[in-house]
Amino acid sequence: MHVRVRSVLMDVSEEVRFSYLATGDDHLDAALVPGADLIGKRMRSRSLCGADLRGAYLIATDLRGCDLSGADLLGADLRDARLEGADLSKALYLTQAQLNAAQGSAHTRLPSGLDRPTHWPNDS
């Protein structure tokens, strides 16, 4: 069962991410791969649309103002990641636990069904 679910999740991710990459975005680099070590990196205001960040280490990564539309965040470690002003509204496989471990603000755009953590400031 797990193998079939994994296969479906991977297929959906690939299809969605490809739709973003097919628009001509050339922002992705070799560091943005599944399981990437991006701990503490400054990636502020980058377009990360369609990035495959499954299992990536994004601990304390500066993602302020980033567009993560179509980015696959399955299993990504967002502890203390800076998400103020980031657009996560169309991110794939983002969980409440990931958000709860990150830093954000009232200007962080979230997918429907996920709640703004109570520790995030309301007016940044």
Question: What CATH number did the domain enclosing 106 receive?
Answer: 2.160.20.80
This prediction has a pTM of 0.84
Who contacts 122 (Cβ-Cβ below 8 Å, separation ≥6)?
A: 106
Look at residue 23 and tell me whether its pLDDT is greater than 60: no
Residue 88 is part of which domain span? Answer: 1-114
Question: What is the C-alpha to C-alpha distance for residues 100 and 42, in angstroms, rounded to an integer?
Answer: 21
4 within some domain:
yes
Are 70 and 89 a contacting pair, CB within 8 Å? Answer: no
**pLDDT tens-digit profile of 34-63?**
889 999 999 999 999 989 999 999 999 999
Who contacts 102 (Cβ-Cβ below 8 Å, separation ≥6)?
A: 78, 79, 80, 81, 82, 83, 117
121 within some domain:
no
Q: Would you say how long the chain is, in residues?
A: 124
Structure token digits, residue 98: 């990931």
Report the amino acid identity of residue 115.
D
Domain count within the chain: 1
**pLDDT tens-digit profile of 78-109?**
999 999 999 999 999 999 999 999 999 999 99
